[in-house]
Amino acid sequence: MKTIIAACSRNLSGTRASVPTALRTLLAVPWPSQRAVRSWLQLLSVLQWVLSFLLLGIVSLLLLIYLVFTRFWPISALYLAWIIFDWDTPEKGGRRLPCLRRWSVWRHFRDYFPVKLVKTHDLSPSHNYIIGSHPHGILCVGAFCNFITGSTGFKEMFPGIRPFLTTLAGNFRLPIFREYLMSGGLCPVTRRAIGYLLSKNGTGNAVAIVIGGAAESLSCRPGVTTLILKNRKGFVRMALQHGAYLVPSFSFGENDLFRQVVFEEGSWMRSIQQRFQKMMGFAPCVFYGRGLTSIRSLGFLPYARPITTVVGEPVMVPKIEEPSSETVDMYHEMYIRSLLKLFNENKTKYGLSETDELRIL
Q: 72-95: per-residue pLDDT in tens?
A: 999 999 999 999 999 999 999 999
Cβ burial 300-336 (10 Å sphere, 16+ → b, else e): bbbebbebbbbbbebbebeebeebeeebbeebbeebb
Mention every residue, 6+ apart, whose C-beta is less than 8 A from residue 336: 229, 360
pLDDT score of 27 more than 80: no
Domain boundaries, the chain: 36-360
| 68, 78 Cβ separation under 8 angstroms | no
CA distances (Å), 115 to each of 16, 98, 110, in order?
A: 54, 20, 5
- The predicted pLDDT at position 66 comes to 96
Closest to 148 measured CA to CA, from 84, 196, 98: 98
Q: Which residue has the higher pLDDT, 235 or 138?
A: 235
pLDDT score of 241 more than 50: yes
- In whole angstroms, what is the distance from residue 330 CA to residue 97 CA? 38
Query: Range with the lowest mean pLDDT among 19-28, 157-166, 182-191, 325-334?
Result: 19-28
Q: For strands 298-299 and 287-290, give the pairing.
A: antiparallel
| SS3 of residue 29 by DSSP | coil
The answer to whether the Cα torsion of 185, 190, 193, 196 is positive or negative is: positive
Quote the DSSP letter at residue 224. B
Closest to 76 measured CA to CA, from 67, 87, 89, 85: 67
Q: Which residue has the higher pLDDT, 334 or 30?
A: 334
Give the chain's mean pLDDT: 88
- In whole angstroms, what is the distance from residue 302 CA to residue 47 CA? 9
> What single letter denotes the amino acid at residue 333?
E
> How many other CB atoms sit within 10 Å of the CB of residue 31?
8
- In whole angstroms, what is the distance from residue 275 CA to residue 259 CA? 22
Q: How confident is the model at residue 194 (pLDDT cuts 50, 70, 90)?
A: very high
Closest to 283 measured CA to CA, from 346, 218, 347: 218
pLDDT score of 123 more than 60: yes
- In whole angstroms, what is the distance from residue 275 CA to residue 279 CA? 6
- In whole angstroms, what is the distance from residue 28 CA to residue 3 CA? 9
Query: Range with the lowest mean pLDDT among 47-56, 110-119, 136-145, 277-286?
Result: 277-286
Q: How confident is the model at residue 351 (pLDDT cuts 50, 70, 90)?
A: confident
Mean pLDDT computed over 281-299: 80
- In whole angstroms, what is the distance from residue 116 CA to residue 110 CA? 8
Q: Sheet holding 287-290: strands in order across? A: 259-260, 287-290, 298-299
What is the pTM assigned to this prediction?
0.86
Q: Which residue has the higher pLDDT, 135 or 15?
A: 135
Alpha helices in the chain (DSSP H): 2-12, 19-28, 34-51, 57-68, 73-85, 98-101, 105-112, 141-147, 154-157, 177-184, 191-199, 213-217, 234-242, 268-280, 325-346
